[in-house]
């Protein structure tokens, strides 16, 4: 599916950190469903556009955006971090989401959704209606990058500040920076209990080579049992973009909305 028309923009940051974040809002009934994409993904990706099509059919309000350095947004990817991408998400929520949202996070977006939900509680705001997380990659910079890198890659990062990692999803390599690794350590969530104040539904493929299902179990162990659901797809990969996977995602999001008080 191809997006038609130009996105709106939300400005984030000051001075050299100032950037415009591209946003698309489909008006409809609430609570607002907000899409948070993955590492190097954008709001035109398969799951995001499939949810937009569902929102159009269901008359639901749907918000999606590109982090800095992604898609139609400004910014240099290699200069960004989990903190800066979380700031992008929170700016979009503040500017375009007046109600309690349903946060739908894919891979890295699952981590950012959890950070944004936790920040709402820390500010004394009403919690999110709920979170739907697809292969959530919480703490991936440490658990799935640094801890898995051979010493030669760690040496390159510490010496040069960046390592170019070949990507299975794009022809050009991904720049992984030491700044990203260090910032990730400051944002880790799996080091203790994690109560986001709302229901959480995790969708996880068991043939995911990028975010192994053990990572989903680690998250499950840290969330409150009440209101937490884990759906395992035995033959599911990381993308979870097949028709049957999209149907599960739409069902989880719709159910979260129906359960909202």
Judged by DSSP in three states, 63 sits in strand
E strand or H helix that includes residue 164: strand 162-165
Domain coverage including residue 58:
8-258
Q: Dihedral sign for Cα 202, 208, 210, 211, please.
A: positive
Q: How many CB atoms lie within 10 A of CB 159?
A: 10
Residue with tokens 């203790």: 192
- Whole-number pLDDT of residue 5: 66
Rounded Cα gap, residues 213 and 167, in angstroms: 20
Q: How many CB atoms lie within 10 A of CB 10?
A: 19
Q: At what angle do helices 243-258 and 46-58 cross, to 10 degrees?
A: 50
pLDDT tens digits for range 110-142: 999 999 999 999 999 999 999 999 999 999 999
Rounded Cα gap, residues 24 and 28, in angstroms: 13
- Whole-number pLDDT of residue 172: 85
Rounded Cα gap, residues 43 and 58, in angstroms: 19
Q: What's the pTM value of the predicted model, to 2 decimals?
A: 0.95
Instruction: Write out the two tokens for 203.
Output: 């969708």
Note whether residue 3 is domain-resident: no
Residue with tokens 């954008």: 42
CA 94 to chain centre: 17
Note whether residue 223 is domain-resident: yes
Instruction: Write out the two tokens for 60.
Output: 């639901």
CATH code, domain with 185:
3.40.50.1820
Q: Please state the domain count of the chain.
A: 1
All residues at 6 or more sequence positions from 243 whose CB lies less than 8 Å from its CB, including other chains: none
- Whole-number pLDDT of residue 261: 64
Note whether residue 26 is domain-resident: yes
Q: Has residue 171 got a pLDDT over 90? A: no
pLDDT tens digits for range 34-89: 999 999 999 999 999 999 999 999 999 999 999 999 999 999 999 999 999 999 99
């Amino acid at each position: 599916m191809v997006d038609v028309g130009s996105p709106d923009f939300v400005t984030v940051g000051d001075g050299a950190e100032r950037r415009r974040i591209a946003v698309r809002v489909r008006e409809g009934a609430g609570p607002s469903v907000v899409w948070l994409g993955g590492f190097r993904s954008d709001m035109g990706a398969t799951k995001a556009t499939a949810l937009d099509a569902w929102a159009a059919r269901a008359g639901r309000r749907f918000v999606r955006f590109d982090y800095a350095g992604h898609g139609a947004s400004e910014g240099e990817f290699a200069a960004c971090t989990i903190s800066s991408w979380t700031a992008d998400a929170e700016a979009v929520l503040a500017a375009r989401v007046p109600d309690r949202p349903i946060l739908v996070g894919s891979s890295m977006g699952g981590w950012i959704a959890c950070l944004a939900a936790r920040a709402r509680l820390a500010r004394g705001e009403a919690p999110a209606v709920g979170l739907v997380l697809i292969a959530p990659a919480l703490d991936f910079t440490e658990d799935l990058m640094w801890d898995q890198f051979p010493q030669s890659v760690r040496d390159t990062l510490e010496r040069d500040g960046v390592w170019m990692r070949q990507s299975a999803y794009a022809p050009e390599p991904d720049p992984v920076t030491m700044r990203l690794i260090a910032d990730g350590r400051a944002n880790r969530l799996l080091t203790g209990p994690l109560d986001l104040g709302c229901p959480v539904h995790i969708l996880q493929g068991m043939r995911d080579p990028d975010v192994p299902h053990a990572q989903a179990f680690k998250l499950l162990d840290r969330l409150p049992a009440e209101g937490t659901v884990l759906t395992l797809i035995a033959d599911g990969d990381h993308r979870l973009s097949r028709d049957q996977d999209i149907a599960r995602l739409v069902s989880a999001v719709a159910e979260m909305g129906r359960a909202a008080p």
